[in-house]
Amino acid sequence: MSLRVSVRAELSADVVELLRSDPAVSSLSVLRGASISPEGDVVLADIAREGVNEVVDHLRDLGVQEDGTIQVEPVHAWLSQRGLAAEQRTPGSSADAVVWADVTQRAYEESELNWTYLSFMTLATLLASIAIVLDSQVLVIGAMVLGPEFVPIAALGLALVRRRRSLFRRAASTLLLGFTVAILLATLAALTARWLGWVDAEDVTGSRPETHFIYSPDRWTFVVAVIAAAAGVLSLTSAKVGGLSGVFISVTTVPASGNVALGLAFGVWDEVTGSGLQLLLNLSGMAVAGWLTLAVQRALWSRASVRRPLRRRLPSGPPD
C-alpha cells in the first residue's frame, strides 16, 4: 500500500525514522518543505498491507494527524523486489490484513444520511413493493442489490469493535431514518396506486408463491442473515473482494420494508407484522454477525502483529 504523510517540520525526523526502521516499509521518500499547510514535509512510503495498522497507530501516537494528514491508498499493481521482500518478512497474509483506517473511513462515509442514501433506499423499497405485487423474484433481487443498507449495518459492528460511539450513533440513525422515510414514501406510492386502481387488496393478500418468504420469517431468516453478514464483512475488509454482491441478494431487508409499505397502504396488518419481524431479524442477525466477524479478525490480526520484529523505541507523542 502507499502511505503519504503531510507533517510539521518538527515531527518530520521522527516520522522518517519510524518508517525507516519498520521492516514492512520497502521504499521511503521525503519532500522537504513540500507541505504548505501544515508547514513542513511530505513523506511518501510503500508499505506491506500487513504492516499498515501498526505504522498508522505509531503515527497517531506521534500526533501527526492533529495538524497534518495520514493518507493510505491501495496499490493495485506494482513491481518491486524490495516490496516483495517486505511482504515476505511481515507476518500474516495481505489478503487477511484489515486496514482499520480504510474500513473505518468507508464506514463513516457510507453511513452518512444524505439525499443519495435516501434516494437509493426509497427506490429500492419502491422496486420491492412492485416485485411483491407482481410476485417477481427477479425484481426482488434487483431491489436487494439496489439497497444501500449493508455498510451502515456493518458499521454498527465496527463501532462496537473499535469503540466508536459517534459511528454507532451515525449508523443507527441512518438505518432508522432511512427505512422510515423509504417505507413512508413507498406507502404513499402504494396509496396512489390503489386510488388509480392499479393495485387492489388481492394483489397484496393473494397467493404469492415466489415472494411469500418476505413476510414469513422463520429460524432460517436469522441464520441466513448471520452467514450473509459475515461474508459481507469479509468482503469489505479483505484485499480480495468477491462476495459483497452475494450478500445483497441473500438478505430480505429491503423487500421486507416494501411489504410493510404495502401492508400499511391496504391495512393488511398480518403483512405488516410478519414483514416487520423479518426486517428486525435480518437487521439484528447482520449486526451481530458483523460485530463477531470483526472481533475475530481483530483478535487474529493482533496475534500476527505480536510476531513482527521489534523497532527501536521512538517518542510516544508530539514534542512539548
We report the CATH number of the domain holding residue 64 as 3.30.70.120
Pair (85, 202) in one structural domain: no
Q: Which of 8-12, 48-52, 233-237 has the highest mean pLDDT?
A: 8-12
Let me know whether 135 and 70 are in one domain: no
Among 41, 64, 90, identify where a domain stops: 90
Averaged pLDDT score across all residues of the chain: 81
| Same structural domain, 50 and 172 | no
Residue 260 lies in a domain: yes
DSSP string for residues in 250-315: T--HHHHHHHHHHHHHHT-HHHHHHHHHHHHHHHHHHHHHHHHHHHHHHHHHHHHHHTSPPPPP--
Total number of domains in the chain: 2
Same domain, 68 and 190: no
Cα–Cα distances in angstroms (integers) from residue 292 to residues 41, 99, 285, 297, in the given order: 40, 17, 11, 9
Q: Is 111 in the same domain as 222?
A: yes
Are residues 31 and 52 both part of a single domain?
yes
Same domain, 153 and 82: no
Assess whether 148 and 187 both reside in one domain. Answer: yes
Q: What range defines the domain where residue 86 resides?
A: 2-90
- Domain presence at residue 219: yes
Q: For residue 320, what pLDDT is reported? A: 37
Q: Is 188 among the domain residues?
A: yes
Q: What is the pLDDT of residue 318?
A: 43
DSSP H or E segment with residue 201: helix 201-205
Q: Is position 314 within any domain?
A: no
Whole-model pTM?
0.77
Of 236-240, 244-248, 262-266, the least confident:
244-248
45 and 143, same domain (yes or no): no
Nine-digit cell string for 81 = 523486489
Cα–Cα distance, 261 to 185 (Å, whole number): 8
List, for residues 41-90, the tens digit of each pLDDT value.
Answer: 999 998 888 888 888 888 888 888 888 888 888 877 777 788 778 777 77
The three-class DSSP label of residue 29 is strand
Kindly state the DSSP code that residue 110 receives in the 8-state scheme.
H
pLDDT in tens, 96-150: 667 778 888 888 888 889 999 999 999 999 999 998 888 888 888 888 888 888 8
45 & 161 share domain: no
At 15, list the grid cell. Answer: 516520522
Confidence grade of residue 313 (pLDDT, cut at 50, 70, 90):
very low
Task: Give CA–CA dist 175/84, Å, rounded.
Answer: 42
